[in-house]
Amino acid sequence: MNELVRWDPFRAALPFEGSLLDIPTLFRPIARHALAGPRMDVNETENAYQLAVELPGVPKGAIQVSVYDNTVTLTAELAEENAQGAEEQNWLLRERSFGKVSRSLALPEAVDENASQARYSAGVLHLTLQKKRTSKRLTVH
């Protein structure tokens, strides 16, 4: 004997059985990749800008930092582990990211790239970017 089931046009239109209407699931991939690059904290002191940039798992040699005038650009690349046979793996969950990331940040004042310092430890890059000393106008009395 057949059972009568009320037809729902929205259920018929969603082949994923309503998962698209699950708002947290729908926006999770967008939120996870919303940043244009690695996460960073920026602090300003009287003489310098201090940056702490998260780069977990990135080897020191795969990080490049360039400073031009008041813009700092960071580029890093994390190679995928076990690249051979990755398609043959039986992944249950795969959230880690691999590849090249880049991020530029314009600072309010010009930076002296020759007086700046970088230190990398425990997956965090610490940059101290010294502000350029600008000449001051003297008032003639």
pLDDT attached to residue 24: 53
**Average pLDDT, integer, range 43-47:** 94
- Tallying the residues shown for the chain, one arrives at 141
Is domain 37-82+97-130 classified as CATH 3.40.1440.10? no
pLDDT attached to residue 31: 45
Which of 105, 119, 128 has the alpha carbon at shortest distance from 49? 128
Torsional sign, CA 56, 61, 67, 73:
negative
Residue 111 CB neighbour total at 10 angstroms: 21
CA atoms within 13 A on the CB side of 138: 2
Q: Where are the domains of the chain?
A: 37-82+97-130
Computed over every residue of the chain, the mean pLDDT equals 78
pLDDT surpassing 50 at residue 33: no
Residue 67 CB neighbour total at 10 angstroms: 19
**Average pLDDT, integer, range 14-43:** 60
pLDDT attached to residue 139: 65
